[in-house]
Structure formats: C-alpha cells, structure tokens
Amino acid sequence: MSTPQQILVVDDEPDIRTLLKEILEDEGYHVTTAENAAEARQAKLNRPALVLLDIWMPDIDGVTLLKEWTETEPLDIPVIIMSGHATVETAVEATRLGAYDFIEKPLSLAKLLLTIEHALESYNLQRENAGLRREVQAVDEPVGRSKRLVQLREQTIQLAQHDTPVLISGEGGSGKSLFARYLHSNSTRSDTPLYRVDITAMNLNEGQRHLFGYEEGGETGLGVLEQASGATLYIDDVGELAADGQGRLLELLQSGSFTRMGGSTPVGVDVRIVAASRHPLEQLIAQGRFRSELYYQLNVVSLYVPALREHSEDVLDLIAFYGDYFVEREKLPYRSFTTAAQNRLRQYAWPGNVRELKNLIQRLLITGRERQVDLDEVEEALGQQHRAPLSDASSLAYELPIREAREQFERNYFESLMRRYEGSVIKVAQHAGVERTHLYRKLRALGIDPKVSQ
C-alpha cells in the first residue's frame, strides 16, 4: 500500500481549514494545516507534495510568501492559490512566480479536487523525467567544471567522431569506463549497445572464450566480439589479456578478422575497440607481458583520465551530483554538507578516486540522522574506509603461537592485497610471487572469498 501524499493547507479561516482537511482526507490524502505564513514556513520543511495557499493572511499575504519561497530556487512542489478577493493582476503575479493554478472562493470542491489531481500528476511526471535525465547523465556524462575535465570531455567528443581504436588509461576508480560510455554515446554507433569485457573478472581460459568465442567438438560458441559487430566493444584492463588473446586481438586490429578459440577460419567483424588499462602498458611491454605491436595498434589515439586528486576542484560538484543521484535513484534522504565538511572532502587525497567518493556519499546518506553532514561525521566516515595499517593489526600476533600468528599475518596480507588490486587474483599472485592455483587454495584456506574482495 502506497503512502498517502501530503497536502499543506494554508488559510487563516478555521472553518475552511477544517473543511478542506476533512474532504481531502476522505479522498485519501494526508493533510496538515497552517493559519499564517510563519506556520506555513515551518510546515513546508516537511516537504509536502502540494500546497493550497490563501492570498490574504494576518502576517503576510500568500503572494509575498510564494515570492519568498522562489527567491533562492525554483518551486519543487505545486502551489495552488486560493482567494475570494484577488484581482487578475494578483493571479498573473502568482502564476509568474510559479503557482500551478489559481482558484476563486467560494471553492468549487469538484474543481479543486480535479486541479489537485492534475497538479500532482504533472509534478510527478516532471520529477520522473528529471530523474531519467539525471540517470542518463550518470551513465553517459562525466561530472566536473574544471578546465581539465572540460578539455577531456571535448577531446572525447572529438575522438568519438572517428572509428579508430582508443586506449584509455588512468587509475582504478578514476572513471575510465564512464569515459568509454561517454565516447560511445557521442559516436556514430550510439544507437547500438556498448559491449564490455572485464578481463580481470574472469580466469584466463574463460575470459578468452567469452571474448573470442570457441570451436570445440563440432560446437561453435559466439564470443562478445561477434555479438558486438556493428557496435563498440570496451575491453577493461586489456593488459591482463593472455599472450594468445593478445595475438587474436592484434589480428583483428590489423585485418578486421580473428579466429575463435580452437578454430582456424577467420571471422570478420565490424567493431570499434575501446580498451583501458589502469597500469602503464609501456611497463608491461618492458616486463615482456604485453605485445608492443598490439600496444601501437590500440594506441592510435589515447585518453588519460586523471586521478580525482588531480582535479580536486570538481569534488564539490561530484558531492552535489551523487547526493541528488542517490536521492532520486534510491530514494535516500537528502542531506546537505557543512562548509567544513565540504572543505575536508575537497582536501582529501581520494586514493580510490571517484568510485570511493560515490561510495562515501551513499554511505553518509544511508547512515546519517541529521539534516546536515558535519566535519566530525566526514572524519569518521573517512576513517572507516581504511582499516588500520598492517603493522598495527599484526602487533597482536606476538601474543599468539607461531602457527596462529603466521595465519593471522597471511590473512591480513592477502586481504590487504585483494583490496589494493580490487579483487584481481592475477595481480595479487604476481605481487606475492605465487602461482594462481596455489593462491586460490591459500585464499580458501584463509576463508577469503575473492568475489567479496572486488
């Protein structure tokens, strides 16, 4: 059962307030009343769905109150003006200030109920459309007004007009996939889906079969490359692609065709490749882990997405954007940020970049009780995002037998690496210098789930 919509009735006549309250509650609305502007200001803080506002009141008139409400921002709720002695000029002024409609007294209840119904439908539709526009922006347009972000958006739109491969680099969480979507949405292929393959999310064999398809025992399986023909394919963390897969991708970029896993017949596709890497591919080439020929084919044009600390002037815009985003999309309560809280977040280094900021805003909206987020709450939230240093956690191990101390150290060690590399078993194995099969067994023995660590 849906919650009744709240209507605020503002009128200095007690009989009218009582009558409207009874009628509207019979119609299924929740009604609050106010007899003057002072009470109306307070009642409006509870965010009613609609206001019925009388013109003549003992303290100030309704038009003046309406003007007061619209001085700082547009009305976000419908206001219906009621009066028995207003002039045409008054009605015009109220409408100019944003009133939805003007109804004369004595009230026609049938007309009033119909006007309320239409007003609520109209404003609900506007809010839904605004939410859809914000959702589209959240999917397709990077947020920020800094010179760096403006130039990067312009560069992305320019590159979108061509069909050449694009290599996107940047730290984890900085927004590489967002710029891939932004590029696709501004390209000539924007009427097709953007396909995505995350190399680190799959083991080597599964990832290659998923990307290139396979021919096995008389059976043929289509990979994402063939499904994306005519569209754009975004390959995330291309540096983790195995040597065999690198050869197939190089073949595609050179000739427009590739061979499936286990196959020998070239398959032609028309697909634009957008690839991303969080680590410099030049370093992987120097380590013998990435083919230089493939790098040159991918790096025809490139985009570097800066870390959030490199455009910290955009932090406040991102806070406002994600605050509205979660209020609209997840119906979380709106909360403003004090100046001190905003300044602290602007000065913070954001090692997890925009992804970390987004998660922090979501958590603050979920867990907070006050209308404002203050500096103390921000400090506490930032502290919760990062566990104590390993040295602090492992200091307790001196009180344990060596076997338990070693197990505690290994658990802390691998949990730290899994967070650092965002759940990539490949990267953790490389860092720790162990085989992946051994690492999987070790993680299971320590009770660490790689999927949870991502």
Report d(CA 97, CA 384) in Å as an integer: 46
3-state DSSP percent of the chain in helix, strand and coil, to 5: 55, 15, 30
Return residue ranges of the chain for CATH 3.40.50.2300. 6-136
Q: Rounded to whole angstroms, what are the CA distances from 175 to 141, 146, 194, 233, 356?
A: 11, 15, 16, 17, 11
Average pLDDT estimate for 154-178: 93
- Res 351: pLDDT: 87
Provide the 3-class DSSP secondary structure of residue 191: coil
C-alpha 354/C-alpha 421 separation (Å) is 16
> Which pLDDT score, from 0 to 100, does residue 396 have?
44
pLDDT, average across residues 359-376: 89
Could you tell me the pLDDT band of residue 56, with boundaries at 50, 70 and 90? confident
Q: Is the pLDDT of residue 101 over 70?
A: yes
Work out the mean pLDDT of the chain and round it to a whole number: 83
Pairing of strands 79-83, 50-54: parallel
For residues 394 and 376, the answer to whether their CB atoms sit within 8 Å is no
Token pair for 423: 């759940």
Q: Which of 306, 266, 294 is nearest to 165 (CA)?
A: 294
* Max intra-chain CA distance, the chain: 89
Q: Give me the sign of the Cα torsion angle 107, 111, 113, 117.
A: negative
Collapsing DSSP to helix, strand or coil, 119 comes out as: helix
Q: Which fold, 394-446? A: Arc Repressor Mutant, subunit A (1.10.10)
More confident residue, 15 or 47: 15
Question: Which CATH number is associated with domain 308-384?
Answer: 1.10.8.60
Interacting residues of 187 by C-beta distance below 8 A, sequence separation 6+: 160, 161, 232, 272
| CATH code reported for the domain at 6-136 | 3.40.50.2300
Domain boundaries for CATH 1.10.8.60 within the chain:
308-384
The CATH 3.40.50.300 portion of the chain extends over 153-304
109 has pLDDT over 90: no
Residue 132 or residue 78, greater confidence? 78
Give the pLDDT mean for 273-291.
91
Average pLDDT over residues 45-59: 86
Which backbone phi and psi does 441 adopt, to 5 degrees? -65, -40
Per-residue pLDDT at 265 exceeds 80? yes
Architecture of domain 153-304: 3-Layer(aba) Sandwich (3.40)
